[in-house]
Amino acid sequence: MPALAGPFEDSVAKFANDEFSDTEAAIGEIAASGNALAPRIIGALQDGRLSADPDSKKVFITQTDGKIIDAATGAAVDKLPDNAAAVRLNNRLRRTVEAALGGLTLLSSDPAKRLAAAQSVFKSHEENLLPTVEGALAKESVKSIKQAFAEARAAIILFKPDASDSDKLDAVAVVKARGDQEALALLTGLGDQPPSVTKAAAAAVTSIQSNLAMWSMVQNAWYGLSLGSVLLLAAIGLAITFGVMGVINMAHGEMVMLGAYTTFVVQEVIRTRYPALFDYSLLIAVPLAFLVAGLIGVVIERTIIRFLYGRPLETLLATWGLSLVLQQAVRTAFGPTNREVGNPSWMSGAFELGQITITYNRLWILCFTLAVFAILLAMLRYTALGLEMRAVTQNRRMAASMGIATSRVDALTFGLGSGIAGIAGVALSQIDNVSPNLGQSYIIDSFMVVVFGGVGNLWGTLVGAFTLGIANKFLEPVAGAVLGKIAILVLIILFIQKRPRGLFALKGRAVEA
């Protein structure tokens, strides 16, 4: 072991022992040392950028710009020794690191870091940080961070045994005003307190709970919308192939899967060739997925389905067989295991709206679904192809005698439905597995939505999807996920008995055809 210069260096060297207990001791000592390198060491430890050489007991920081420095001295180093390995952490140590870093970055010049520090102190309520927090609170000028500091201070005071009752009562009020689940967790875990404080805390807990209960209704509604958008997205292609054309297309789910795999291939190419474009990968994948699934749809229609019009049972069996063939083909080409499709940065994470958490990926999928729906609707309404499609589905012979090439329109309609299923696959790859089985999990739900909404009516599909989504999400907390799903199926069966043609039944000649 080389001669070491002082206690700080000794502490740093402990990281090289690869023992959790030594690492914990080192974190405590370094955090307390006041050394200028301390925040950088602990920060590097948190991000996995701190490595140690077990032989020389030297510890290194890989900085965010890629340069390497010696953690004990701050001197620049050319490269890491060959046997240097990242210092390991477990959950307990990660909490220690968070708390230590919170203490060290309370006075950071970066507002985001100060906010994170205040929040981690709120959780750790480390008693000896009280003077630092109070100092930071006095100096802080940003309102939201000042609030966070005040809450952190309140948390510390609540857990400080010698704080006065009136201080503690004020602290309860501050935490109560915060009103979220973390506030609830803090107040319910207070332990032994003077009677007046216990009483105030209990009252605060009740008030927070009733407030949160109200928010949870809002949250269920949001979850319902989000589930509804996924259902709609999966079903919207089927609303064309099954709803408009009347083809019982069991291979619909596989078109969704092909769209998801197209996303995977696009991301693979981007990863290896143009990593800078990663955030745009989905935008590139959407048209490609439409083309891939759409073309395959046209081929399927030309080679199989056109011979089976008017024979639903044969169509069902043929498309089901086709779905197995497509699944196995993908399994052979890409392997049976899940493929990783990454979330672009703008689809990761969440934001808080009041007391509910809204995740970006769900929000984007909702917007995307509505956009796809609007475009499809406009296409059917305002383009020549849309007009021909409606003409052919409403009265094939009349359309044919008006000079419309009905078989070409059939192929294009089926291609359109399949292409939209492919687009759905791009979005679903963001929230589900990309595996050969992806499509199977959506096929039943898709048929359910289309039948419930009313065959042949796009608006029915929209209303059907959102109704089922919201009903499901309000049932789930009460009945559980398994029973909730069963209840929905039972309700649909009953509903179909009453209204066999779904929510919005088509009227007119198409019905008799």
Name the segment binding other proteins (CB under 8 A); options: 214-222, 306-314, 371-379, 416-424.
Answer: 214-222
x-or-dash string of contact with other proteins, 19-48, rule CB under 8 A: -x---------------------------x
Beta bridge partners of 357: 352
Name the segment binding other proteins (CB under 8 A); options: 93-101, 102-110, 138-146, 169-177.
Answer: 93-101
Return the residue of 360, 400, 459, 505 that touches other proteins, per CB under 8 A.
360
- Nearest distance in Å: CB 441, other proteins: 5
Return the residue of 126, 301, 388, 476 that touches other proteins, per CB under 8 A.
476
Return the residue of 337, 346, 374, 375 that touches other proteins, per CB under 8 A.
337
d(CA 79, CA 90): 27
459 forms part of the interface with other proteins (CB under 8 A): no
Closer Cβ to other proteins, 165 or 340, answer by number: 340
Using CB under 8 A, count the residues that bind other proteins: 64
* Contact status, residue 449 vs residue 286, Cβ threshold 8 Å: no
Name the segment binding other proteins (CB under 8 A); options: 156-164, 211-219, 307-315, 450-458.
Answer: 211-219
Closer Cβ to other proteins, 57 or 339, answer by number: 339
Name the segment binding other proteins (CB under 8 A); options: 129-137, 327-335, 365-373, 454-462.
Answer: 327-335
Residue with tokens 């915060």: 178
- Nearest distance in Å: CB 191, other proteins: 9
Closer Cβ to other proteins, 37 or 326, answer by number: 326
H helix intervals, 16-126: 20-33, 38-47, 91-104, 111-124
User: What token pair was written down for 187?
Assistant: 């107040």
324 forms part of the interface with other proteins (CB under 8 A): yes
- Nearest distance in Å: CB 340, other proteins: 5
Closer Cβ to other proteins, 297 or 342, answer by number: 342
How many C-alpha atoms does 412 have within 13 Å on its Cβ side?
17
Q: Which long-range contacts (CB under 8 A, 24 or more apart) does 107-112 make?
A: 107/132, 107/135, 107/136, 107/139, 108/39, 111/142, 111/145
User: What token pair was written down for 235?
Assistant: 């079903």
Return the residue of 69, 107, 190, 288 that touches other proteins, per CB under 8 A.
190
- Nearest distance in Å: CB 49, other proteins: 11
220 forms part of the interface with other proteins (CB under 8 A): yes
Beta bridge partners of 353: 356
Return the residue of 33, 211, 406, 433 that touches other proteins, per CB under 8 A.
433
d(CA 418, CA 394): 21
DSSP secondary-structure letter at 339?
Answer: B
DSSP three-state, residue 338: coil
d(CA 3, CA 435): 56
How many C-alpha atoms does 507 have within 13 Å on its Cβ side?
2
Closer Cβ to other proteins, 135 or 349, answer by number: 349
- Nearest distance in Å: CB 345, other proteins: 11
d(CA 481, CA 198): 37
Closer Cβ to other proteins, 204 or 380, answer by number: 204
Phi and psi torsions of 70, nearest 5°: -75, 125
d(CA 344, CA 342): 6
* Contact status, residue 83 vs residue 65, Cβ threshold 8 Å: no
Phi and psi torsions of 352, nearest 5°: -95, 135
d(CA 15, CA 152): 30
- Nearest distance in Å: CB 139, other proteins: 28
Applying CB under 8 A, the residues found at the interface with other proteins are 20, 48, 88-92, 94-95, 98, 181-182, 184-190, 212, 216, 219-220, 223, 226-227, 230, 324-325, 327-328, 331, 335-340, 342-343, 348-350, 357, 359-362, 431-437, 440-441, 473, 476-477, 480-482, 485
